[in-house]
Structure 1
């Protein structure tokens, strides 16, 4: 096995899933695969700034600029997965999460505090959804922007009542349960695509093959991630 590791940018939203897949990625690459965790909007910034990487995952809208700047091989860009925006609460009595926008609006109105990732894709989508629900003024005093991974941690610790985060994050956080999942027709899903550096090292293409194979679909679905196609 080649000992020099490959480097893959991984969005915070799927860090739990990717940690579980780590040994399979190492085996596919024939070398260690180092996962670099960051918020979706930060990943293209780091790539554009010249940070070394072999494989990247982030929101697809950021990728055309990286292709144009020759940081990304256009022929390798493909869909990875779609994650619904969700609302997490401390785990308790098992209940089906709310899945309709009016019911989610009522949940927000009743909440004492709501945490979200201020600089993340999920935070931007949350604020847009709140505006479309007509709740911006109502929720502003009790909404708490935080750093990556902090909203769910604050709910588990009992410091905040609700956390708005990707469903994959909520499902992978011990002590947390989904109180609500935004419906797909509310334009709040978070898409992620995958690609290679134009100078990716040996084994990187094999890692992409594993991550995009249909054999992984059921495992992704259980983690809150579904497949999608580019429009």
Structure 2
């Protein structure tokens, strides 16, 4: 598999640093965690990974880490967050590559009733009936709190029971019983095998977000950074990306 993924990708010169520093948000992590070992095996490069939310002001969010001056070679996050970093001059203009598109879904603990979110009206009723709701503090949660909840007319009714989750996966919060239902990118919910994945939001209110990669300004080895991004976006990587609940960008 690793050799197939490397087809057409010339390995960067070994005279440059052989470590590639990556900061990635959770949306692409499930695919990333499978692909990076293949890349390291095929190239001999060592990928050093940090993680943080695409948006928000949590101390470990990607915007906060760049604001503190932390240095990376590659950044992977929701496209809106990447565009902000490009505008701020923290990611090289013209280096953006779309990797995959993600949808928002919902999970509950196994053994509990499985709510209906198959229609917009059913989703609205599920939100009203839930005793506690957890949602991401990153791109998906920003959409839910700023757009979807007001659009459904439930923002005020659920204000006291809906919680933005900082610096933690929503699935972990639901798993330990701190929330009855949890919303996040599908690719971030599926790894929690102890949970029941209910499904994605209805098409009419779904938000499809591209997770994209770019070369950070000041990258120690921009050629290696570009090479890794090309590897993650390669058509041969699509089956792995698809298996994590995302739509590969190459499928467009």
Matches within 5 A, 1:157-172: 157-172=176-191
Report deviation, 1:102. 2.0
In the alignment, structure 1 segments of 5+ residues that lack a partner are: none
Q: TM-score, normalised by structure 1?
A: 0.85
1:184 positional shift: 4.1
Q: What is the CA RMSD across the aligned residues, in angstroms?
A: 2.8
Counterpart of 1:17? 31
The answer to whether the Cα contact below 8 Å between 1:73 and 1:195 also exists between their aligned partners in 2 is: yes
* Number of matched pairs: 229
Does residue 82 of the first structure (1) align with residue 101 of the second (2)? yes
Partner of 1:56: 75
Quote the residue 1:121 is aligned against.
139
Distance 1:43-1:161 versus aligned 2 partners, 3 A rule: same
Aligned equivalent of 1:217: 238
Aligned to 2:50: 36
Q: 1:26 to 1:14 in 2, by over 3 A?
A: same
Matches of 1:158 and 1:59, distance apart in 2: 28
Shift of residue 223, structure 1, vs aligned partner: 0.7
Are 1:138 and 2:157 an aligned pair?
A: yes
Could you report, residue by residue, the CA deviation over 1:169-224 in whole angstroms, capped at 9, with x for unpaired residues?
Answer: 11012312221311344252232111112443152222111110111222212211
Shift of 1:95: 7.6
1:9–1:38 CA contact under 8 A, matched in 2: yes
Using the alignment, how far apart are the partners of 1:68 and 1:107 within structure 2? 39
Question: Which stretch of the first structure deviates more once superposed, 178-187 or 77-86?
Answer: 178-187
Q: Is the 8 A contact 2:102 2:246 kept in 1?
A: yes
- For residues 28 and 9 of structure 1, what CA distance do their matches in structure 2 show? 21
Q: Secondary structure at the match of 1:209?
A: helix
Say if 1:44 and 1:58, in contact at 8 Å, map to a contact too.
Answer: no
Change (3 A) 1:216 1:95: farther
Shift in alpha-carbon separation, 1:29–1:103, aligned structure 2, 3 A: farther
Distance 1:136 1:13, change over 3 A: same
Q: For 2:216 and 2:244, how far apart are their aligned partners in 1?
A: 27
